[in-house]
Amino acid sequence: MARRAFPISVATWAGAAVAGLVLVVIALPLGAVLLRADASSGLGPADWAAVRFTIWQALLSAAISVGVAIPVARALARREFRGRRALIALMGAPFILPVIVAVLGLLAVFGRQGGISAALRFLGLPELEIYGWQGVVLAHVFFNLPLAVRLILQGWLAIPAERFRLAATLGFTSRDIARHMERPMLRNVAPGAFLVIFLISTTSFAVALTLGGGPRATTVELAIYQAFLFEFDLGRAALLGLVQVGICVVAGALVIWGTKPNIAGTGLDQPVARWDAQTPAARILDAVLISAATLFLLLPLLAVVTRGAGAIAGLPPAIWAAALRSIVLSLVTATLSVGLALPMAILIARGRARGLLETIGALSIAVSPLVIGTGLFLILRPVVSPTGAALPITGLVNALAALPFVLRALVPGVEQAEAGYGRLALSLGLNGPQYLRHVLLPRLRRPLGFGAGLAAALAMGDLGVITLFAAPQQGTLPLEMYRLMGAYRTNDAAGAALLLLTLSLGVFWIFDRGGRVNAAT
Amino acid sequence: MLRLEGISLGFDGFTLAVDLDLPKGGRLAVLGASGGGKTTLLSVIAGFLMSDRGRIWIDGVDVTEAPVPDRPLSILFQEGNLFPHLTAFDNVALGLRPDLRLDEEARTRVDETLLQVGLAGVSTRKPGDLSGGQRSRVALARMLLRNQPLALLDEPFAALDPGLRAEMMALVADLCDATGLTLVMVSHDLRDAERLCDALILMQDGRIVTHGTMADLMANPPDTLKHWL
């Protein structure tokens, strides 16, 4: 096969070096976990319960998310209304929403002091119990329902509009459309969505930390944390880390196996006219579904805003200091993540060892941040105080966690730039820094801004590895907020939640917006 | 057979304004540049778009307000004609029963129609295993099986190579001759139109700027048609 001549070879070396670095930074902690794992005693009953709960709650969360998303996505696919685009955009927000903020919002709506429980009390019914498996599943559905809706909506919109027109001329009823068009699409799309959500739900440490716990609602990651902080049983923590890696590898393999390319063809990214869905009953059903999904997403966020607005000005200085640490951390993470991703993206776009590089880029999905953190703790403990290195380690682990998403944003842009301008640049003798400056960077402003914003927002809201390392008075804003919630300082926690929400959305907006200004593409 | 009287439809700064009369068994080509209103005209006839004014008659019946499934017509699109999870047989059978509950007589009719379009040996294959020409034939077979008096063709063979396209045009012409089908075909290509149709309209900015029999227009092409030759 003919190989393309590329303008700069230094990028090849840089990409290979970065990929090697990423591999080492993930493999070393994994190796440390492997060596330290205390396999002699095996897993105890509590550990097996954690394994069972991790899988069970992830299955339930994925099933409910996808099950609810199907009718909501169908309603969105076949209805045009004011605010539709804004609603679909809002469904992308949970990805960058700090877990702890969402949890506070869910508590405000579904907790004992929330409106739903008040209504149930008024009706003489028992209140909702949000702590435990119910809360874990509820939070996972809150985070993943929008993702499922977006994935399935894409499937619906990928059915060519002509096929719906054809169905109308053939006299298809709603049942015929479901049988011949919707179910085949769902058979393609829904398993992938289910498995992605299953994978996400097996690694959402912060949800289990805040809403789970106890013998009946402890995930493997929460068990690692408890072995670390409460029992300081590093051997057991490491063993559980290996179990977690096993769960993620299996779930990740299932995602790759279960996500099929869409066979339905291409269509327009707009609602499709449906002649079978014009009955008043269908219209009312769709309106109810869209309204319910919107309220489910918006009410917790509105609760965070309304409760936090009055409290934000009175936040103690320690919270503002934590906010400053979080801002620095998110900026460092964004820089590091983009700095790692760009050379790798160039190498991937050039097709050299693409599969290997993509696997390395996605390793942080299989080896979860908490496991990497556990390994780094084991490596660093004999050398330096882990608490002293809390912020650099958190930044590094967050950058690795964001790497798959930043790569996904960058690679298509690099491919496009190289395909369009690579040969021209070669003929003009542009190489190294000139190629980067004149060809790549102007065309990558958008994905660079988006990727950096994503990494910054994820780091801003992260409540994972920092919990293993941070000493008192050294916490990030999410950790301080968690501590406030644990101390029942609800007013301060509400203020901190609003501050964290503003900062997370703010850093994402600034980077994303910055990337769009004067972008070449 | 097809009559459009004072049809008018406006949206997004575009206005379609058409009067048309097509006799039974007539084959009309609708020619024009992109954005001229060809597909909009087909959509109005099929009922995908409702006109603001005017009336539409098909086979003597006023269908102006009729919903899509109630209009006596079949339609072939450029894409999306086949359901990828169904076999060629089932794709054709949808023309008889969308729920695919077929009795022996219906199954025989499907087999006969597949034979009619030269697809006897591929009935169990799915669209992904068929060639472009075979896929077009499956869609055509379903249209025949529907047995509606009017067929609308929205550039259904545009993606095929010239040889295959000519072959499909010839097949459609033979089938029209055999069944007396009335046909309206949107096209970008005057040669395709000439192969299949006996009348032509040229559309520009939503209006018919040239209208006549194919023989007359080809013998004495007006200025509007000259650059299509």
- CA distance linking residue A497 with residue A461, whole number of Å: 10
- CA distance linking residue A76 with residue A84, whole number of Å: 8
What pLDDT score was predicted for residue B160? 82
Q: Give the residues across from B28 on adjacent strands.
A: B184, B199
Q: Do the chains contact at B69 and A275, CB–CB below 8 Å?
A: yes
CA of residue A264 relative to chain centroid, distance: 27
What pLDDT score was predicted for residue A234? 83
What pLDDT score was predicted for residue A268? 30
Q: In A, which residues are within 8 Å of B77 by CB distance? A: 162, 165-166
Report how many Cβ contacts below 8 Å link chain A to chain B: 66
pLDDT band at A203, cuts 50/70/90? Answer: confident
- Buried/exposed code over B185-203 (b: 16+ C-beta within 10 A; e: otherwise): bbbebbebbbbbbbbbbbb
What is the distance in angstroms between the CA of the first residue and the CA of the last residue of chain B? 29
- CA distance linking residue A484 with residue B28, whole number of Å: 76
Q: In B, which residues are within 8 Å of A173 by CB distance? A: 98
What pLDDT score was predicted for residue A266? 38
What pLDDT score was predicted for residue A104? 93
Please name the residue of chain A whose CA is at the shortest distance from the CA of residue B76. A166
Please name the residue of chain A whose CA is at the shortest distance from the CA of residue B48. A165
What pLDDT score was predicted for residue B82? 87
Domains, chain A:
1-36+310-521 (1.10.3720.10)
Q: Which of residues 199-218 of B touch A (CB under 8 A)?
A: none
DSSP string for residues in A391-403: HHHHHHHHHHHHH
Q: Give the residues across from B133 on adjacent strands.
A: none
Q: Which of residues 114-173 of B touch A (CB under 8 A)?
A: 128, 146
Tell me, letter by letter, the H, E, C secondary structure of A233-251.
CHHHHHHHHHHHHHHHHHH
Long-range pairs of B86-89 with CB within 8 A, sequence gap ≥ 24: B86/A180, B86/B126, B86/B127, B87/B123, B87/B124, B87/B125, B87/B126, B88/B114, B88/B119, B88/B122, B88/B123, B88/B124, B88/B125, B88/B126, B88/B127, B88/B130, B88/B134, B88/B138, B89/B114, B89/B123, B89/B124
Distances (CA, A) of B72 to A491, B93, B117: 68, 18, 22
* CA gyration radius, chain A: 24
Please name the residue of chain B whose CA is at the shortest distance from the CA of residue A185. B85
Q: Do the chains contact at A263 and B73, CB–CB below 8 Å?
A: no
- CA distance linking residue A311 with residue A168, whole number of Å: 56
- Give yes or no for residue A80 having a pLDDT over 90: no
What would the pLDDT profile of B107-164 be if each residue is shown by its tens digit?
Answer: 999 999 999 888 888 899 999 899 888 998 999 899 888 889 999 998 888 878 888 8
What would the pLDDT profile of A25-40 be if each residue is shown by its tens digit?
Answer: 999 998 988 888 877 7
- CA distance linking residue A333 with residue A338, whole number of Å: 8
- Give yes or no for residue A81 having a pLDDT over 50: yes
Distances (CA, A) of A393 to A45, A207, A380: 32, 21, 10
Least confident of A207-211, A336-340, A349-353: A349-353
Distances (CA, A) of A370 to A28, A202, A332, A373: 14, 12, 19, 5
- Give yes or no for residue A101 having a pLDDT over 50: yes
What pLDDT score was predicted for residue A271? 61
Tell me if residue B126 falls in helix, strand or coil.
Answer: coil
Least Cα separation, residue A82 to chain B (angstroms): 18
What would the pLDDT profile of B182-210 be if each residue is shown by its tens digit?
Answer: 999 998 888 888 888 999 999 999 999 98
Least confident of A284-288, A394-398, A466-470, A488-492: A466-470
What would the pLDDT profile of A307-338 be if each residue is shown by its tens digit?
Answer: 999 899 889 999 999 999 999 999 999 999 99
Amino acid at residue number A53: F
Return the residue in B50, B78, B99 with the most chain A beta carbons within 10 A, the one to mutate for interface testing: B99
Q: Do the chains contact at B68 and A169, CB–CB below 8 Å?
A: yes
Across A460-489, average pLDDT: 89
Here the tokens at position A98 are 């700090």
- CA distance linking residue A511 with residue A488, whole number of Å: 35
On whether any CB of chain A is under 8 Å from the CB of B101, the answer is: no
Least Cα separation, residue A282 to chain B (angstroms): 17
Determine if residue B41 is left, alpha or beta; phi over 0 gives left, psi from -120 to 50 gives alpha, anything else beta.
Answer: alpha
Q: In A, which residues are within 8 Å of B146 by CB distance? A: 170
Least Cα separation, residue A166 to chain B (angstroms): 7
Across A171-197, average pLDDT: 90
| ipTM of the complex model | 0.79
Return the residue in A157, A159, A164, A166 with the most chain B beta carbons within 10 A, the one to mutate for interface testing: A166
On whether any CB of chain A is under 8 Å from the CB of B12, the answer is: no
* A355 against A399, higher pLDDT: A399
User: Going by C-beta distance under 8 Å and a sequence separation of 6 or more, which residues neighbour residue B61?
Assistant: B72
Q: Kindly report the average pLDDT of chain A as a whole number.
A: 87
- Give yes or no for residue B15 having a pLDDT over 60: yes
Q: Do the chains contact at B128 and A263, CB–CB below 8 Å?
A: yes
Q: How many helices (H) and strands (E) does chain B have?
A: 8, 10
- pTM, two decimal places: 0.82
In the Cβ-directed half-sphere of B191, how many Cα atoms lie within 13 Å? Answer: 5
How many CB atoms neighbour CB A519 within 10 A? 15
Tell me, letter by letter, the H, E, C secondary structure of A51-116.
HHHHHHHHHHHHHHHHHHHHHHHHHHHHCCCCCHHHHHHHCCHHHHCCHHHHHHHHHHHHCCCCHH
Here the tokens at position B217 are 């227009």
Pairing of strands B73-76, B150-154: parallel
- CA distance linking residue B179 with residue B182, whole number of Å: 9
Q: In A, which residues are within 8 Å of B83 by CB distance? A: 163, 180-181, 184
pLDDT band at A3, cuts 50/70/90? Answer: very low
Q: Do the chains contact at A166 and B81, CB–CB below 8 Å?
A: yes
Least Cα separation, residue A162 to chain B (angstroms): 6
Tell me if residue B29 falls in helix, strand or coil.
Answer: strand
- Give yes or no for residue A269 having a pLDDT over 50: no
Least Cα separation, residue A171 to chain B (angstroms): 5
Least Cα separation, residue B186 to chain A (angstroms): 15
Q: Do the chains contact at A170 and B69, CB–CB below 8 Å?
A: yes
Across A336-344, average pLDDT: 94
- CA distance linking residue A6 with residue A431, whole number of Å: 9
- Give yes or no for residue A84 having a pLDDT over 50: yes
Least Cα separation, residue B135 to chain A (angstroms): 15
- CA distance linking residue A318 with residue A83, whole number of Å: 40
Question: Residue A215 phi/psi, 5° resolution?
Answer: -65, -20
Tokens 């998110």 — which residue?
A330
- Buried/exposed code over B137-168 (b: 16+ C-beta within 10 A; e: otherwise): bbbbbbbbbbebbbbbbbbbbeebeeebbbbb
Distances (CA, A) of A19 to A15, A354, A417, B19, B44: 6, 11, 21, 67, 57
On whether any CB of chain A is under 8 Å from the CB of B80, the answer is: yes
Tokens 């003919």 — which residue?
A2
Interface residue ranges in chain A relative to chain B, Cβ cutoff 8 Å:
160-163, 165-173, 175-176, 179-181, 184, 263-265, 273, 275
Across A440-466, average pLDDT: 91
- Give yes or no for residue A521 having a pLDDT over 60: no
DSSP A321: H
Q: Kindly report the average pLDDT of chain B as a whole number.
A: 89
Tokens 């779930």 — which residue?
A251
- Give yes or no for residue B91 having a pLDDT over 50: yes
Please name the residue of chain B whose CA is at the shortest distance from the CA of residue A188. B85
Question: Residue B201 phi/psi, 5° resolution?
Answer: -125, 145
Least Cα separation, residue A144 to chain B (angstroms): 29
> Are residues A233 and A227 in contact, defined by beta-carbon separation less than 8 angstroms?
yes
Burial class (CB in 10 A: 0-12, 13-18, 19+), B131: exposed
Q: In A, which residues are within 8 Å of B69 by CB distance? A: 168-172, 275
- CA distance linking residue A339 with residue A349, whole number of Å: 16
Q: Do the chains contact at A170 and B67, CB–CB below 8 Å?
A: no
On whether any CB of chain A is under 8 Å from the CB of B83, the answer is: yes
How many CB atoms neighbour CB A346 within 10 A? 28
What pLDDT score was predicted for residue A1? 40
User: Going by C-beta distance under 8 Å and a sequence separation of 6 or more, which residues neighbour residue A125?
Assistant: none
Question: Residue B125 phi/psi, 5° resolution?
Answer: -85, 150
